Amino acid sequence: MMGLTYYDSFYSLAPKIHEALGVAVLLLMLFRVVWKKLNASPNPPTTNSNLINKTSKLAHLSLYLITFLILITGLLISFSGGQGLEIFDWFTIPGPAELFENQATLAGEVHRLTALALMVLVALHTLAALKHHLIDKDTTLKNMLGVKEK
Taking alpha carbons only, the member of 62, 64, 66 closest to residue 114 is 66
Mean pLDDT of the chain: 90
Q: Using one digit for the tens of pLDDT, what is the confidence trace for 81-124?
A: 888 888 888 889 998 888 899 999 999 999 999 999 999 999 99
What are the extents of the domains in the chain?
Answer: 13-42+55-145
When comparing pLDDT for 143 and 106, which is higher?
A: 106
Q: What angle do CA 124, 73, 100 make, to 5 degrees?
A: 145
The reply to whether the predicted model has a pTM over 0.95 is no
